[in-house]
Structure 1
């Protein structure tokens, strides 16, 4: 199976899973890039996978589903017109056309019903996790998002993470502010800067790299805890001790940048 990234809007990725002339689209916020790929490649669209209800992830769903009469998988507790197969965390689905099974993960927080799709070595996580970052909490709570990130962090380190936005350039300064003394982060920052300067994608990213450098996955690391406490020292009156408290502090810090 080949995974191809189509660019959409300013920084979105629409992921295409391709196998023997068949294709599955993940989070097609715009139908046009998918239709152009199908025209040029001759691939046949077989299904759509949706992670959450934001417009830049579902904007092309109705057109694609109606035009090709294909199944559309997505979370049932969000308002997503055009879904034909409601799924939730804990399920395993078989995606037609490409003969692949995915485990559905509950990764709510960015939105209430956000889900991700996982198979060995591959995760499509929508806006739950980014290079050196995570999604804003538009609907969920810090507890919910912290649990979701813990669920992702438990996957094998060799997992390739396909998120839906190119955010490395924006997230890098924050990660460096949280752990300025991390040699591992400094080394990764240099590699990311080279990719960014060359106009190369920084996604997919290796989960192991995120575990080693993404502050939102490192809420139990002493240096990260201390950075969160220092940020909150002038803003809050309670201690920052638990991973959820550290996460909430980091998320508020990042929101202000």
Structure 2
């Protein structure tokens, strides 16, 4: 009985990639004022960023209901297969809490494990894909738990923002609070590697912030792969070019940051994600 993997839409996994690995995605909700959308169902990343550019109101996000998780868990485990759910950082969203509430409601009906990735976007997605691949190889729930516990300690997520306004409004500013005094004159760089938002640096221009990301990556010994994550940014190729002297195209994966993280990262959010060597 292969382990079935469940995650939430903050993993930013393309539907076809999730389907190829049998990964079930429980979507979060995005709100623009009174208008509500289901992430990945009736709101694509490009449509989200277009709306954010056109509207004065900043978007908000809401975690899936416990009922949505319960339905996904029961579907995944309908044939008696074990289920492992891997969610975005519990410090940034109530999503993990909803999944845990659903697990309690299910009780002993399923062999079910709920894990906190302590990460977001490609950091979460890379963990989920690794878990799915291990499940396909016959890994047990305990094997997958051990894998995620290892990967989350090594997952690094750095983001360059054009503005802190979205983080400020969404209440996710965390350790980046000190940046607010100069919010209009800087390009903030944040570190979400521990599952919370902390200040990593400040740069005066977009170009310098991308160079900062490159330099931070290059401090690490050669990696097998690096993820470039972006919010439909027009200069994503510039960051790829910056890291290309060390990483070949086949080592670089490109992830589109969806509405869940984009709602807090803001327009033109850009980041690098990788897993430190073991």
Q: Is the TM value for this pair above 0.5? A: no
Q: Which one has a larger percent helix, Structure 1 or Structure 2?
A: 2
TM-score by length of 1: 0.33
Of structures 1 and 2, the one with the larger relative CO (CA 8 A, separation 6+) is 2
What's the TM-score once normalised by structure 2's chain length?
0.31
